[in-house]
Amino acid sequence: MNTQASNMLSGLEVINKHKVEAILIIEDDDYYKPKYISNMINKLQGFDIAGEQNTIYYNVSRKLWYPNANRLHASLFQIAFTEALLPIFRNVCQESCKFIDMRFFRRAWGLKCKINLFDDVRFSVGMKGLGGRMGIGFGHRANTVKMKADPELVKLKELLGKDYIYYT
């Protein structure tokens, strides 16, 4: 059972009690570079939503990686958005949809929100194949045909720098 939407709604209850500068979704199975939060806040300045395009997924257990071609949205773990978009985000979560990120961006585009999708820097990497409950996105399942092999961890080292050691 996918509990992501209900977990998001629980988090929104806490946010509703406070004035916030920005909302970022931090997922426990993904990698975030140092200063991720401050970098995302900077990318958000002057926009309603900021997010990384072309998400890189890395399946640690299989030593495979995949450059996703998401050009019209950012993966949920790679976004920052303003408090003004909380009603839209809440509505999407209440629908209990499987891919919150895609639907959230579709609505934001439709409302002519100011969106900063960037791929000039990489602040995070979607880590797959870790312990725990299997996720719903690409890279979790056994069907990894499109993924690229990284037997010597060259790509992992390129993506994470010295932090790659924590995933070996």
Whether residue 152 is predicted with pLDDT greater than 90 in this model: the reply is: yes
Parallel, antiparallel, or unpaired for β 56-59 and 124-128? parallel
Higher pLDDT residue, 13 or 134? 13
Taking the domains of the chain in order of start, what are their residue ranges? 4-167
136: confidence class by pLDDT, cuts 50, 70, 90: low
Confidence band of 130 (pLDDT split at 50, 70, 90): confident
| CA-CA-CA-CA torsion sign (130, 56, 32, 98) | negative
Q: pLDDT band at 43, cuts 50/70/90? A: very high
Confidence band of 3 (pLDDT split at 50, 70, 90): confident
Residue 98 has pLDDT above 90, yes or no: no
Question: Check: CATH 3.20.20 for 4-167?
Answer: no
State the pLDDT at residue 145.
63
**pLDDT > 70: what percent of the chain?**
89
Q: What is the mean pLDDT of the chain?
A: 89
How far is 28 from 134, CA to CA, in rounded Å?
A: 12
Q: Name the burial class of residue 92, with classes exposed (0-12), middle (13-18) and buried (19+) by CB atoms within 10 angstroms of its CB.
A: buried
